Amino acid sequence: MGHPSPFPEHPKDGPKRQIEREFGVPIPGEILTPDKWAQTALKDLPQQGPISFPTVFGRIAPVIVDIGCGNGRYLLGSAYTRANFDHIGFDVLPMVIRYATRRGNQRGLSNLRFGVADGLKVVRQLLGPASVDEIHIYHPQPYHDVREAGRRLLTPSFISSVHDCLKPGGELYLQTDHPGYWKSMRENASHFFDFHERIGRWPDSPRGRTRREILSMKRGLPIFRGTGIRRDNLDGATKEQLVRELPLPLFGIHAESMRLDREEATIRE
C-alpha cells in the first residue's frame, strides 16, 4: 500500500517546519503549535466487550490497527496521509506508548489513538468481530530463548483471532527481520488469508515504516514483508481444524536478529 508524502508542503518564505528525526530518518508529520495539538491517549480501555470506535473517534470510518506499534512511526504517517481512516496503535510497553502519544498529540492527529495492551488482549477482547479494516504487525518479538518460545505471538490461534476481527476483505500486514519467524507466519497466515510476500520496500516509507525496520536496514539485515486479504469462505469448523493442525512458531536462533534486539534495548528515545 502506498500513501502520499507524510510531510506537508510549505511555502519557501513560510515558517520553518518542526520536523523530528530518528536515526536520520524524518518522523512523519510536523510539530504544531500547542493550540493545534490533539489528545491521542486511549486511557480507559473497556473491561468487558470491544472498543466502540464511533464513541472514541466521534464518527464512523474505516479502522486501522497496529499491534505492537512501538513509538507509533507507521501510524503517524498513515493517520497524516489517510485522514478518512481512524487509527489505533497498541503496545505492551507504557514507555513507548508515551512517546507515540506525545507525537500524535503534537501533530494534531484527531484520527489517531494509542493504548497499552498486549496482542492477545487486543484481538480477543478489544476488537469486536468483523470490526476493523486493516491489522498491521511489524517485527513481533521472536523470543530467542527457546524457553520463551510459548510467548511468540503469531500462533495459528492468534492468526485465527486476527481473521475474526477483520471485516470481509480486510487486510493483514506482516513484517520481520527474523527468517525463521517469517517462514512460520507466512505459511500459517496463508491458510487464513490470500497472502503474498512483498518484494522490495513499502513505497510510502522507503527508508522504513518502523524504528526497527530502519535499524535493520542500516545493519544490512533482510526485511521480510507481506500482505494478506482475508479469506471470507472459512467457517468456524474449518478455522478450528486449522488451529489444531497448523504448527506453532518454532524456530532456531537467528544471531543477527538477536544481536540487534539486544542493541535496540539499550537505545533510548
Cell 489505533 maps to which residue? 88
Domain boundaries, the chain: 37-265
Are 79 and 40 in contact by the 8 Å Cβ rule? The answer is: no
**pTM of the full predicted structure?**
0.92
The type of residue at 83 is A
Are 122 and 90 in contact by the 8 Å Cβ rule? The answer is: yes
Cα dist. 236→160, 165, 227 in Å? 10, 13, 23
**Which three cell numbers, joined as nine digits, stand for 231?**
479469506
Q: In what order do the strands lie in the sheet with 193-198?
A: 112-116, 86-91, 63-67, 132-138, 166-176, 224-230, 193-198
Q: At what angle do helices 156-165 and 179-192 cross, to 10 degrees?
A: 50
- b/e burial code for range 169-193 (CB count within 10 A of at least 16 → b): ebbbbbbbbbbbbbebbbebbbbbb
Number of other residues whose CB lies within 10 A of the CB of residue 245: 9
List per-residue pLDDT tens for the chain, 269 residues long: 556 656 555 445 555 668 899 999 999 999 999 999 999 999 889 988 899 999 999 999 999 999 999 999 999 999 999 999 999 999 999 999 999 999 999 999 999 999 999 999 999 999 999 999 999 999 999 999 888 999 999 999 999 999 999 999 999 999 999 999 999 999 999 999 999 999 999 999 999 999 999 999 999 999 999 999 999 999 999 999 999 999 999 998 899 999 998 888 777 55
Cα dist. 98→32, 95, 114, 216 in Å? 18, 5, 9, 23
Looking at residue 160, its pLDDT comes to 98
Q: What DSSP element (H or E) covers 167?
A: strand 166-176
**Does CATH place domain 37-265 in 3.40.50.150?**
yes
